[in-house]
């Protein structure tokens, strides 16, 4: 199936993703949660077991090492990191762990499948005894799904309701086949990475390596809500406190192409009155909206919603306006 059909399948029905390239690190020991608290900007101490937390992990200068999910489990803490950052993150986390916490890299024996879309709860409920309507957004629990033991969470990167399933590598093909089988009557569709990118993009979710990296900090990237300055101590805190006091000189904004059908791409220049004020970090045709959109950093003075700017696309100044993410507003993901 083509990328547009796959995109639509997730917005209207159910899509199945193989995300096994993602990385998983397991922290164990009495200080595991406190150790996670120290290396990420968001708050994980004080959460209940079964809670999942999204957070950037920063360098001392405030730049972003990676953005990740932290799973607070009964017996351990699971960090789920971006595939391209596994080795770098592993070294960084190790360097910042106290003596009483052990780290296991489970990336290469763990597979991750995701089911996403408005009809997903009804379908998955046929495969598990866990009452899915009771599993809130960003909550996790061990579960048997299709007879296989796995870790289930109500999380995703699409803006739709959805679940992510962490399973032993050896059992992943079985799980995939069982999901496809039960999903048949729901027109379940396997989804490739191209559609995964347009889905996340319509929600304005950051992609590491495009929209955030070691040269950007969470305050510039609209991730200020994940930076808990009141936490006494975490890596990058001093730099972020100072940045917060000084104010940021640039901001990550959403941009809608307001005339024509041209598509902004990474690296294109954003202009105001003929002068460059920023650069596009992600850009694409947004299938659910029928037009081109971009994410990019602009000088803070030009970051207000509805500000009119231009994007240089193939030697043409194409009109665009600042828009608040998510661009796609009809997603079915739970709010709690």
Write the DSSP symbol of residue 216: S
> What DSSP state is assigned to residue 268?
P
| R_g of the chain, CA atoms, integer Å | 20
Give CA–CA dist 44/35, Å, rounded.
10
Tokens describing residue 302 = 């030009």
- Please measure the distance between the N-terminal and C-terminal CA atoms of the chain and give it in whole angstroms: 33
User: How many whole angstroms separate alpha carbon 185 and alpha carbon 114?
Assistant: 18
- The three-point CA angle 78-83-85 to 5° equals 90
User: What is the Cα–Cα distance from 167 to 170, expressed in whole angstroms?
Assistant: 8
The DSSP call for residue 132 is G
**What b/e readout covers 58-77, taking b as 16+ CB neighbours within 10 angstroms?**
beeebbbbbbbbbbbbeebb
Q: Which stretches does DSSP call E strand in 147-249?
A: 148-153, 162-168, 189-191
DSSP labels for 61-103? TS-EEEEEEEEE-SS-EEEEE-GGGHHHHHHHHHHT--TT-EE
**CA atoms of 135 and 141, how far apart (whole Å):** 8
The annotation status of 164 as a binding-site residue, yes or no, is: yes
Q: Which helix (H) or strand (E) holds 79?
A: strand 77-81
Residue 57 corresponds to which tokens in the numbers above?
């992990």
CA distances from 129 to 9, 139, 144, 149, 152 (A): 26, 16, 7, 12, 12
Task: List the beta strands (DSSP E) in 154-290.
Answer: 162-168, 189-191, 250-257, 269-272, 275-286
Residues annotated within the binding site are 164
Return binding residues for substrate. Answer: 164
């Amino acid at each position: 199936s083509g990328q547009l059909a796959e995109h639509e399948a997730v917005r209207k029905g159910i899509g199945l993703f193989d995300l096994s390239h993602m990385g998983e690190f397991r922290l164990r020991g009495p200080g595991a949660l406190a150790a996670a608290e120290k290396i990420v900007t968001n708050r994980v101490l004080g959460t209940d077991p079964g809670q999942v937390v999204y957070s950037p992990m920063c360098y001392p200068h405030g730049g972003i090492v990676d953005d990740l999910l932290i799973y607070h489990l009964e017996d351990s803490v699971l960090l789920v990191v971006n595939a391209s950052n596994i080795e770098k993150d592993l070294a960084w986390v190790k360097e910042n762990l106290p003596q009483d916490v052990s780290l296991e890299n489970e990336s290469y024996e763990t597979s991750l499948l995701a089911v996403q879309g408005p009809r997903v709860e009804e379908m998955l409920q046929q495969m598990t005894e866990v009452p899915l309507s009771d599993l809130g957004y960003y909550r996790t629990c061990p579960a048997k799904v299709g007879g296989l033991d796995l870790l289930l969470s109500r999380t995703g990167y699409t803006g739709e309701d959805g679940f992510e399933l962490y399973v032993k590598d050896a059992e992943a093909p079985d799980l995939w086949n069982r999901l496809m089988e039960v999903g048949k009557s729901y027109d379940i569709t396997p989804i490739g990475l191209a559609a995964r990118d347009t889905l996340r993009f319509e929600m304005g979710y950051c992609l590491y390596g495009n929209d955030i990296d070691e040269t950007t900090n969470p305050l510039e990237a609209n991730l200020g809500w994940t930076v808990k300055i009141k936490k006494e101590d975490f890596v990058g805190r001093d730099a972020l406190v100072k940045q917060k006091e000084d104010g940021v000189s640039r901001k990550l904004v959403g941009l809608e192409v307001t005339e024509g059908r041209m598509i902004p791409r990474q690296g294109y220049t954003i202009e105001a009155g003929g002068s460059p004020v920023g650069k596009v970090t992600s850009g694409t045709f947004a299938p659910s909206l029928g037009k081109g959109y971009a994410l990019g950093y602009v000088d803070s003075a030009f970051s207000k919603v509805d500000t009119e700017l231009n994007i240089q696309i193939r030697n043409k100044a194409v009109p665009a306006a600042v828009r608040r993410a998510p661009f796609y507003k009809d997603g079915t993901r739970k709010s709690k």
